[in-house]
Structure 1
Amino acid sequence: MKNILLPTDFSENAYNAIKYALQLLSDEECTFYLLNTYTPVLYDNEYLVYSSTQPTLTEIYRNNSLRGLERVLRKIKRNFQNDKHEFKKISSFNMLNDELKEQVKEKNIDLVVMGTKGATGAEEILFGTHTVHAIKKVKCPLLAVPSHYEYKPPKEILFPTDYESGLPKLLSFLKEIALKNASNIHILHVYLKTTLTEEQEKKKKALGSSLKNIAHHFYSIADKSVPQAIYDFQEENPIDMLAMVNNKHSFFENLLFRPVINEIGFHVKVPFLVIPSEKKR
């Protein structure tokens, strides 16, 4: 049984991510937690004092949150009937990323699935503040699904790595996806030096051994930035999912969290699976 956390702000973008999760895990026994957070920031003191018999602003927000969750659940059950899937609703007066962190720990969450913002006029993910902060805070795999992305089985998975970090235990989640979908994993290394160090060679060999039951291929690209190499690889090869390990000692945080990247978006057209390293956990 897997525990999956599905944050929603009741937008189509959020529901699109929920649809992807339900289809990706259609054969798995799962408990899906639908999460909505609300944080009323404006209070009318006179209203609170002189209208004490009326609902407070917090109560209004909470009722709207509960009604929204019920609407989403009805829509899911109307469109995705699956006896293997159970749903629970969580409405919380909290900041989203703080609540994500708490729920991941409390509910022993295996995966968080979030929608991303589509960049106007460009085929790319634009990582919003919530997504970037969630990637930094959440200590379980997180799957970011682009706006309007239509589900298809992830047959081709791109896995960029610098061979600098060890293999996290949570890589098993990626391996499960690959085995279930008979996927090919394309391991992409962008290098500055012509040869790998002895330690990098060991980690590359360990990665190959870990994927021995899964079709995988190694690629090396020189003289490009990592974002450009990923973008070019997707242009030249059919890719259904991007997966990376979030390790501060690798290129990951520089890749996603530099202000320029946050502003222009990251050129990813497919769902993006972020796997925390052991140190991140």
Structure 2
Amino acid sequence: TPAIYQAEYVLHSPGQIGLGDIYQENSLSQLKDLKKQLIAEFNNKKHTFMVHSAFNTLVEEIVETSKNEQADMVIMGTQGATGAKEILIGTNTVHVIKKACCPVIAIPPNFKYENPKEILFPTDLGINYQEEQLEALVSLAEHHISRIGIMHVSAGYDLSDKQLKNKEKLEKILGKIAHLFHEMPNQEITTAINSFQQKNKVNFMVMIQNRHTFLERLFIDPIIKKLGFHVTIPFMVIPPHKNN
């Protein structure tokens, strides 16, 4: 898309004028066909499908549209355009997660839907949690009667006063939702997550994006073989709150 984008709107090559319109018309036609298929397969009057086609880079269009439409959530696949199995998540997904102003749910390839009964929530307890920030997590857990496993990975030290306050506030926000705290001392975050997934029936994961937390480190080099970070379940990334 970027190459065509430049040819149409930057280089203004006579041979390329109108090419974007052709691509957009074809895209819109296919989207309408997909809409018909979804309506036929999932006949639910509570669902409304709208199609949107634009001549733009994927990431920028997703971010802009989610802002303009005041979207509550973005849902997308994790596999990159190359389809390479060794890639953790596609580049587009990473950029959307970093730029989106609403929660993003990333779905791994070949995942078969199951109710998120067991939710993993890794955290370093370094965030002053806000109710509106965790609204998507709370709503999801309440709807599915889920249990949240709050995993804290540490270097073996006791929690600081700040972390204890954040933990107390987190418990208050979760309220009556079933949740357990799991201390994972002296482990790398990727090792701890992999180990927890293997030992427990986790089918959904939630993380909060914050410059100062482990999530940023997970996206520095998305090669599974190097990081050893295998995500086989959907995961939701919540954007940072303005107060954090």
| Fold in common (TM above 0.5) | yes
Tell whether 2:201 aligns with 1:230. Answer: no
Tell whether 2:129 aligns with 1:138. Answer: no
* Residue matched to 1:88: 50
1:170 positional shift? 2.4
Q: Deviations over 1:214-251 (max 9, x none)?
A: 00000001121101100110000000100011011222
* Residue matched to 1:164: 126
**Partner residue of 1:188 out of 133, 141, 151:** 151
**Partner residue of 2:4 out of 40, 44, 47:** 40
Tell whether 2:65 aligns with 1:103. Answer: yes
1:117 positional shift? 0.9
Quote the Cα distance in structure 1 between the aligned partners of 2:102 and 2:220: 22
Quote the Cα distance in structure 2 between the aligned partners of 1:48 and 1:273: 39
Quote the Cα distance in structure 1 between the aligned partners of 2:177 and 2:216: 27
Helix, strand or coil at the partner of 2:70: coil
Q: Per the alignment, do residues 160 and 75 of structure 1 end up closer, same or farther by CA in structure 2, a change over 3 Å counting?
A: same
Q: Per the alignment, do residues 69 and 238 of structure 1 end up closer, same or farther by CA in structure 2, a change over 3 Å counting?
A: same
Question: 1:19-34, aligned counterparts within 5 Å?
Answer: none
Q: Per the alignment, do residues 93 and 260 of structure 1 end up closer, same or farther by CA in structure 2, a change over 3 Å counting?
A: closer
* Residue matched to 1:242: 205
* Residue matched to 1:148: 110
| 5+ long unaligned stretches in structure 1 | 1-36, 50-55
* Residue matched to 1:114: 76
| 5+ long unaligned stretches in structure 2 | none
**Partner residue of 1:179 out of 118, 137, 142:** 142
Q: Deviations over 1:75-106 (max 9, x none)?
A: 10121011001111111111111112211211
1:38 positional shift? 8.3
* Residue matched to 2:168: 205
Q: Per the alignment, do residues 263 and 105 of structure 1 end up closer, same or farther by CA in structure 2, a change over 3 Å counting?
A: farther
Question: 1:246-257, aligned counterparts within 5 Å?
Answer: 246-255=209-218, 257=219
Q: Per the alignment, do residues 263 and 235 of structure 1 end up closer, same or farther by CA in structure 2, a change over 3 Å counting?
A: closer
In the alignment of these two chains, the number of paired residues is 236
Residues 104 and 236 of structure 2 are in contact (CA less than 8 Å); yes or no, is this contact kept in structure 1? yes
Residues 247 and 280 of structure 1 are in contact (CA less than 8 Å); yes or no, is this contact kept in structure 2? no
Q: Per the alignment, do residues 105 and 46 of structure 1 end up closer, same or farther by CA in structure 2, a change over 3 Å counting?
A: closer
1:121 positional shift? 6.1
Which segment drifts farther, 106-115 or 65-74?
A: 65-74
Helix, strand or coil at the partner of 1:239: coil
- Superposition RMSD in Å: 2.5
Amino acid at match of 2:4: P
Amino acid at match of 2:60: D
Helix, strand or coil at the partner of 2:54: strand
Q: Per the alignment, do residues 167 and 48 of structure 1 end up closer, same or farther by CA in structure 2, a change over 3 Å counting?
A: closer
1:45 positional shift? 4.5
Q: Per the alignment, do residues 74 and 38 of structure 1 end up closer, same or farther by CA in structure 2, a change over 3 Å counting?
A: farther
Q: Per the alignment, do residues 106 and 46 of structure 1 end up closer, same or farther by CA in structure 2, a change over 3 Å counting?
A: closer
Q: Per the alignment, do residues 271 and 86 of structure 1 end up closer, same or farther by CA in structure 2, a change over 3 Å counting?
A: same
**Partner residue of 1:219 out of 162, 166, 182:** 182
TM-score by length of 2: 0.88
TM-score by length of 1: 0.77
Helix, strand or coil at the partner of 1:91: coil
Residues 153 and 185 of structure 2 are in contact (CA less than 8 Å); yes or no, is this contact kept in structure 1? yes
